[in-house]
Amino acid sequence: MRSALIEKIKVVIIVVLFITTILLLYLLWSPGGRGIGFSGFGGRSASSDAPTGAGLLRAEYALRSSGSGSTELSYDADGVFAAAKEELAGFLAQSYAESSVISEQQYELAMRDWPSVSVGFGCGLPLNGVLSLIAPESQLLRTADVIVDSIAFSDAAPDSVFARDSGSGSHYRFIFGEPRESVDKLSSAFGDNSYPAYTARDLLGVGSVFLPLGSFSELSDMPFGAADGSKEVGTDAARAVFGDTFSFVRRITDSFGNVTYMYGYGEKNLYLYAEGAIEYRTTVSGTEASDFARDLDAALSFAAGCGGLRGDEWKALRLCGYSESGIRVHTRNFSFAQSVLGVPVYGQSGPALTVTVSGGAVTGLRREGIDPGTYTPGENRAAASPANVIANNSNHIYNILKGSVLAPASDEAFDFAAKAVRSLAPGYYADPSRKLLVPAWVLKASGGEMFYFDLYEGTPLGYTR
């Protein structure tokens, strides 16, 4: 009798252990399970000071069409984008949504012949990622795995949201169950600081991007210094990456004052440059299946953990570039520009912060912020005509994008340059030789390259590949 009872107890224990094993396997290893978050070997956990991805998602420009042939463009698009997010959230709260691909002609008719408002991001972003940032609780359109660089609303279809990817020339319409008065709400959020705008096809004869006919600005040169590149910040970044003990980590300092931290035989490297830039690279990528929103949060958490940007400095950042690659291991590159006086700042090496996330883990980071000096407003004067900025510098753009040193035929260079333009907006270029922030037209090409031209003279200042 006693032995039978003992046997029964053993059976119960084995069954409980078996079930516990199954549950633990599900929790730790399944994609739908919570798992246990690893922040890489060594390093601190995610910083609680990091901003959210939704907070850094901003519109570069807004377009409003009257439906009678006139279009206005505004670079002060925060108010319109806030209204657009409200409308998107309202649509996503409905129970039904359908996706369809429409032709470029249909899209342009909807935008031109009916009152419409659109907001542009200045770079291509995954639509499902953007919608998950705006309405995380909604599951509508989560399978819409397309890249878009603008979102629009039109009275041609009040029950729909339109989107476009000017890089691939794709146009989409997302149809919801109930119509909304989106155009009226966005139109009322449009500010007074807008300019008549036309497509590049109307102005130049070729191209699809909207360009202002002319604009005015008060931006003037501003001195700047490197962001906080102190030793303390560098050490904090190193501790965030390698842990407090710096086990198996070597520290190398060169004669220029650049410091390199290397883990093992180079599996993880942290470079602290003398001028204040920080760069991190690792050959070890993650293995998680991830999505845009989670990778974006991981990027921001890692960047916050490395220190150097605090409080209000985070608010000045804006998502300005994105690219993705890889099939088995998804790799995403996020670029964040620092804003000064409401316009983004770009340096010779590009935006202030770029982070690479591969398989859910950060595999690369470069931070080169600037500390703006005293600003003296300039007089309100006319900026260089965007049409002539493209036309006059078409040879320069062609040679850089093609990697050619020979002067091409002017028509060939012009057609190529006009078609390659993805966006043109005002910003600041941080001239490293003069240590000045120079007002500039920032031209983004379809391949991610960026060109900077003087805002008032239209002359080339630099470029970033």
Partner 1 sequence: MSRILRKALAVIAALALLTGTAFADASIVSPVADSVVYSDSLLISVKLTGSENVKVTVYQEYYESSPAVYELQEIPEDEAAAEAAKTVSETPDSGVETVAIPEDQEAPKEGSEAVPSEETGAGKAPAEETASEKTPIAENAPAGTESGEPAGSEATEEAPGAGNGAEDAAEQEPGEPELIKVLIREAEYSPYDASALSAEDLSLLSSGRTEDASGEALTLSDGSGIPELSDVVFAPAVSYKSDSEVGFYTKQLSVQPGLYKVSVESRSGSSHCFVAVKEKQQEEKPGIFSGGAQKSGAFSFLRNMLRSLFR
Nearer Cβ to partner 1 (126/212): 212
CA 184 to chain centre: 28
What's the closest the beta carbon of residue 159 comes to partner 1, in angstroms?
6
Helix ranges (H only) for 135-211 are: 182-188, 200-204
Tokens of 212: 């202002």
What's the closest the beta carbon of residue 362 comes to partner 1, in angstroms?
30
Name 170's bridge partners: 165
The verdict on 47 binding partner 1 (CB under 8 A) reads: no
What's the closest the beta carbon of residue 340 comes to partner 1, in angstroms?
30
Q: Which of residues 185-214 bind partner 1 (CB under 8 A)?
A: 196, 198, 202-205, 213-214
The verdict on 30 binding partner 1 (CB under 8 A) reads: no
Q: Which of residues 413-442 bind partner 1 (CB under 8 A)?
A: 414
The verdict on 114 binding partner 1 (CB under 8 A) reads: yes
Q: How far is CA 301 from CA 53, 289, 314, in A?
A: 10, 18, 12
Using CA atoms, how far apart are residues 144 and 163, in angstroms rounded to an integer?
Answer: 11
H and E: helices and strands count for the chain: 13, 26
Q: Which of residues 337-396 bind partner 1 (CB under 8 A)?
A: 385, 387-388, 391-392, 394-395
Nearer Cβ to partner 1 (153/261): 153
The owner of tokens 């519109």 is: 59
Residue 424 and residue 352 in contact, taking contact as beta carbons nearer than 8 Å: no
The site map against partner 1 for 155-174 (x = CB under 8 A) is -xx-xx------------x-
Nearer Cβ to partner 1 (381/465): 381
User: Hey, is 195 helix, strand or coil?
Assistant: strand
The verdict on 49 binding partner 1 (CB under 8 A) reads: no
Nearer Cβ to partner 1 (32/311): 32
Nearer Cβ to partner 1 (128/385): 385
The owner of tokens 């599996």 is: 267
CB neighbours of 366 closer than 8 A, spacing ≥ 6?
277, 278, 279, 280, 349, 353, 354
Phi and psi for 271 in degrees, rounded to 5? Answer: -110, 125
Report the interface residues with partner 1, using CB under 8 A: 68-70, 95-96, 98, 102, 106, 109-110, 113-114, 139, 156-157, 159-160, 173, 175-177, 196, 198, 202-205, 213-214, 385, 387-388, 391-392, 394-395, 410-411, 414
